């Protein structure tokens, strides 16, 4: 049995679909939105439970459980409620880590590239606390992931497998519920589908032209492939970046979406809102040497191929 918290979310639902389609394990999705987002699932060949029932469920199914993939969290980078962040992003993570350690179960969990802050300390998935202590997340979401990474990294006793995955900018199917946190790919597609001009943020950094801010965008199918690979390799442990290692611009994304939507390019540039300007990242690039060195050698979708697959297969019906 493999338990996936946040199983009805963006990455979680894609992982559930992949594992159900090819895994011999019983799959369990833990999510308040299992029914609300049921259209995300390809079939019902898995078990659904509510988060409040998780503790009792894992206690009663201890012998069946092989691993927990912990993806459930408040992922909004603009969330200001500290108590809510602590309860959902820290307390649950600490409980699952403690339970897995005590019961000799494997744990794969979602960290985030948001832990790197403005990138001034680079984007290296190092685990030594001297490096981790230098990172300065720009929001509470990133802070919560950083605290958990550091907290468990200092512990001598660990679950038999403990893997933290620092997701960069993920896009792909099943993100419609994410509101303002959905990917720029989906936002642009929805905008041009309405016949409206695409609006990208102006650059307020002299080193970047308008729309040329760079991020490491990774297709969700690649993310799922990496998670699946760690499930299949139980001896691997540590923090790992999950990105392509190839930063691309917002202009590149807009052009790819226009191309696959058969629409003429119409882009205007607007000021970055004052309230997020100090938190805005102009450059992210995953260092994936550790991931490659650990044996994950599969090619990633290029930005153009990922957007084409996303739009043609999932958004244009």
Q: Identify each DSSP E strand in 161-228 by its residue range.
A: 162-167, 169-171, 198-201, 214-215, 217-219
Question: Which among 188, 181, 184 has a CA at the least distance from the CA of 266?
Answer: 188
Q: Which of 116, 141, 171, 310 is catalytic?
A: 141
Catalytic residue among 178, 199, 263, 266: 178
CB distance 203 to 196 below 8 Å: no
Strands 267-270 and 198-201 turn out to be: parallel
First-to-last alpha carbon distance for the chain, in angstroms, is 35
Beta pairing partners, 69 = 4, 108
Is residue 208 exposed (0-12), middle (13-18) or buried (19+ Cβ within 10 Å)? middle
Closest CA to 251 of 211, 217, 215: 211
As a residue count, the chain comes to 317
Active site residue 25: no
Burial classification of residue 30, based on how many CB atoms lie within 10 Å of its CB (0-12 exposed, 13-18 middle, 19 or more buried): buried
179 torsion bin: left (phi>0), alpha (psi -120 to 50), beta (else): left
Q: Maximum CA pair distance of the chain? A: 58
Is 178 assigned a catalytic role?
yes
Residues catalogued as catalytic: 141, 178
């Amino acid at each position: 049995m493999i338990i996936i918290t946040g199983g009805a979310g963006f990455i979680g639902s894609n992982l559930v679909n992949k594992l159900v389609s090819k895994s011999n394990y019983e799959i369990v999705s833990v999510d308040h939105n299992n029914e609300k987002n049921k259209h995300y699932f390809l079939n019902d060949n898995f078990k659904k439970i509510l988060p409040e029932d998780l503790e009792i469920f894992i206690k009663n199914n201890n012998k069946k459980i092989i691993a927990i993939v912990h993806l459930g969290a408040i992922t909004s980078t603009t969330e200001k409620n500290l108590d809510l962040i602590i309860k959902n992003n820290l307390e649950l993570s600490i409980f699952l880590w403690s339970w897995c350690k005590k019961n000799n179960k494997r744990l794969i969990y979602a960290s985030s590239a948001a832990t790197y802050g403005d990138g001034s300390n680079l984007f290296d998935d190092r685990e030594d606390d001297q490096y981790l202590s230098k990172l300065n997340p720009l929001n509470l979401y990133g802070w919560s992931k950083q605290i958990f990474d550091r907290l468990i990294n200092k512990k001598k006793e660990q679950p038999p497998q403990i893997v933290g995955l620092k997701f960069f900018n993920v896009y792909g199917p099943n993100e419609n519920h994410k509101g303002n946190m959905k990917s720029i790919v989906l936002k642009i597609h929805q905008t041009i589908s309405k016949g409206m001009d695409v609006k990208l943020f102006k650059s307020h950094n002299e080193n970047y032209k308008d729309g040329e801010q760079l991020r490491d965008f990774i297709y969700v199918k690649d993310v799922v492939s990496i998670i699946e690979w760690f499930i299949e390799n139980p001896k691997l442990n540590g923090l790992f970046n999950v990105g392509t290692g190839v930063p691309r611009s917002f202009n590149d994304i807009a052009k790819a979406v226009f191309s696959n939507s058969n629409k003429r390019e119409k882009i205007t540039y607007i000021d970055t809102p004052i309230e997020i300007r100090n938190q805005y990242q102009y450059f992210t690039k995953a260092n994936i040497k550790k991931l490659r060195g650990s044996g994950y050698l599969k090619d990633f979708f290029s930005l153009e191929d990922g957007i084409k697959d996303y739009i043609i297969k999932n958004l244009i019906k």
